[in-house]
Structure 1
Amino acid sequence: MKKFSSVFRSFLVSYIVILIIPSIAGFISYRTSISVTEKLSIQNNVIQLQKSKELLERRMAEVEGFTRQLAINPDLSILMNEKSAGDQTNVYGIWKMLRSVLTFGQTNDFLQQFYIYLGNYNVILTPGSAYFRPEHYYDNFRYTDQTLAEWKQSILGKTHRSEIMPLRKFNNKGTATSVVTYMQSFPLDSFSGSSPAVAVVIIDEKTIANLLTGITDKYGGWTQISDANGETIASQGTGLPDMKALSKDPKFDPNQTSQFYDDDLVITIHSETNGWVYRSGIPRHVLLENANQIKFMTWTITGIALAIGLLVGLLLAYRNSVPIHKLVSVVKEQFGKVETADRNEYDFLHGNIAEMIRSSNQLESELHRQLPLIRDAFLKRLISGELQTREEIFAAASQANTGIYGHSGYVCILHVQGYTGMDSVEVLNELHAARLILKQALLDIAGFMLTTDWGSDRIVIVFASKEAETGNTLGRSEIAALLEQLSRQAFAEYRITFTAALGDHFGSETEVSVSYEQAKQTLEHALHADRKGVVWYDETSMESATYYYPLELELRLIGTIRAGETDEARRIVRSVLSLNTEQRELSVEMWQQLVGEVKGTLLKLLDQKTFMESGIFEQLKDRIIAIQAQDKRSFQTEIEDIADALCAVVVSRKNDSHTRTVDGIKAYIGEHFSDSELTLYRIAEQVERPEKYISQLFKEVTGSNLSDYLEQVRMEHAVSLLRENRYTVDEISSRVGYNSSHSFRRAFKRVTGVSPSSYRQIAEG
Structure 2
Amino acid sequence: MPKYSRVFRKFLISYIVILMIPSIAGYMSYRTSISVTQSVSIENSVTQLQKSKEILERRMAEVEGFTRQLAINQDLSILMNEKGSNEQSNVYGIWKMMRDVLTFGQTNDFLQHFFVYLNNYNVVLTPGSAYFRPEHYYENFHYADISFSEWRRTILGKTHRSEILPLSPFLNKGTETSVVTYMQSLPLDSFNGSSPAIVVVIIDRKTISNLLSGITDRYGGWAHISDAQGQTIGLQGIEEQDVEKLSADKRFDKEKVSQFYDDDLVITIRSSTNDWVYRAGIPRQVLLENANKTKYITWSVTGIALLIGLLVGLLLSYRNSVPINRLLGVMKDQFGQDGHADRNEYDFLHGNISEMITNNKRLESELHRQLPLVRDAFLKRLIAGEFQSREEIIAAAVQANAGLNGNAGYVGILQVNGYSGMDTVEILNELNAARLILKQALSDSGSSVRMTDVGSDKIVFLFAYEDKPTAIQFGKEEISKTLNRVSQLVFDEYRISVTAALGDLFGSVTEVSHSFEQAKQALEYAVHANKKGTFWFEETRSESATYYYPLDVELRLIGTIRAGEIEESKRIVQSIITLNTEQRELSFEMRHQLVGEMKGTFLKLLDQKTFMESELFESVKNRIIEIQATESFEFIREEIHGIMEALCGLIMSKKNDSHTRTVDQIKEYIKASYADPDLTLYRVAEQVERPEKYISQLFKEVTGMNLSDHLEKIRMDHAATLLKSNEYTVDEIASRVGYNSSHSFRRAFKRVTGISPSAFRQSVED
Q: TM-score, normalised by structure 1?
A: 0.47
Question: Which of the two has higher C-alpha Rg?
Answer: 1
Q: TM-score, normalised by structure 2?
A: 0.47
